[in-house]
Amino acid sequence: MNAARNAPGSVAVDDELWSAVGDPIRRRMLDLLLTGDGGTATTLSEQLPVTRQAVAKHLGVLGRVGLVHDTPSGRERRYEVDEAQLARAVAQLSSVGAAWDARLHRIKRIAEAIQHDRDEHDPDD
């Protein structure tokens, strides 16, 4: 996956963020962290069909894009979801739709102006 280079004129969407949550296991992990009010690699691996090592790796991916933050907790680290970052990603997503809404309305305006012109020049058409 390429770096964050969603086409300009569109809305900057962070590709890494999309990739981070593109994996079903990582989405499940976010679910568990949200409902469980945080968790550790151990508690997460107990609820998932993957090893603790795999969970730790996934947590690293989520951490790099700022979706989770960790604090020391005994011999482990405790992870929590960064809801502000989650909200930011959601906002980006709805912007993509809004950008196309604006473009479609411009298409409509331009096409209707052309049609209007042609009808005036050739009313029988």
Partner 1 sequence: MEYGSIAREIRVEATPEVVYEVISTPEHLREWWPDEADLKPVPGATGVISFGVGTPDVKVEPLTVVEADPPRRFSFRWVYDEGRAAAPGNSLLVTFDLVPSDGGTLLRFTETGFRERGWEAAVLEEAYRDHASGWDHFLPRLVTHVARVVSRA
Alpha carbons within 13 A on the beta-carbon side of 66: 10
Alpha carbon distance 101, 107 (integer Å): 10
- Helices 83-121 and 15-22, axial angle in degrees (round to 10): 120
Alpha carbon distance 42, 110 (integer Å): 58
In the complex, least distance from residue 70 CB atom to partner 1, rounded to whole angstroms: 18
Q: Which of 42, 47, 60, 108 binds partner 1 (CB under 8 A)?
A: 108
Q: Which listed range, 23-31, 42-50, 56-64, 68-76, lies at the site for partner 1 (CB under 8 A)?
A: 23-31
In the complex, least distance from residue 58 CB atom to partner 1, rounded to whole angstroms: 13
DSSP secondary structure string, 24-69? Answer: HHHHHHHHHHHHTTSEEHHHHHHTSSS-HHHHHHHHHHHHHTTSEE
Contact pattern from residue 38 through residue 57 relative to partner 1, giving x for each residue in contact according to CB under 8 A and a dash for the rest = --------------------
In the complex, least distance from residue 98 CB atom to partner 1, rounded to whole angstroms: 9
Query: Any contact of residue 12 with partner 1 (CB under 8 A)?
Result: no
Query: Any contact of residue 86 with partner 1 (CB under 8 A)?
Result: yes
Query: Any contact of residue 106 with partner 1 (CB under 8 A)?
Result: yes
Q: Which of 52, 79, 93, 121 binds partner 1 (CB under 8 A)?
A: 93
